[in-house]
Amino acid sequence: MAEFEIAIRGLEVYAHHGVLQFERDLGQIFVIDATLTVDAGTADDLEESVSYAEIAELIADDVKQNPVNLIETLAHRLHGKVMAKSPRIKRAEITVHKPSAPIELKFEDVFVTYRGDNA
């Protein structure tokens, strides 16, 4: 086995998270980044690794469901679901971006990151 990093960047999901009622009613795009440290084989066999397609689907499905007030809560929940997907995943970092956050100032991005090991 070898240690690999698998990353998904810029996964866009339309969802209804937020503290303000209009965020819940109207929804907005959230962008998710996920970086996984995986123990995988080198035999060119998906059975010895983790499917990034399945991880992307797991994340997208979860973001669409069960709205929360805080993107911190969402990042933590996504981390737990990703870590539970496979014992091959040793560490994960999940970043939730909220590019349309309700801020009355010009800004590039708002995001939170949760990272942790499979302890």
Q: Enumerate the active-site residues.
A: 98
Region for residue 10 given its phi and psi (left: phi exceeds 0; alpha: psi -120 to 50; beta: otherwise): left
Spatial distance between the Cα atoms of 39 and 35, rounded to a whole number of angstroms: 13
Burial classification of residue 55, based on how many CB atoms lie within 10 Å of its CB (0-12 exposed, 13-18 middle, 19 or more buried): buried
The amino acid at residue 74 is L
Spatial distance between the Cα atoms of 63 and 69, rounded to a whole number of angstroms: 12
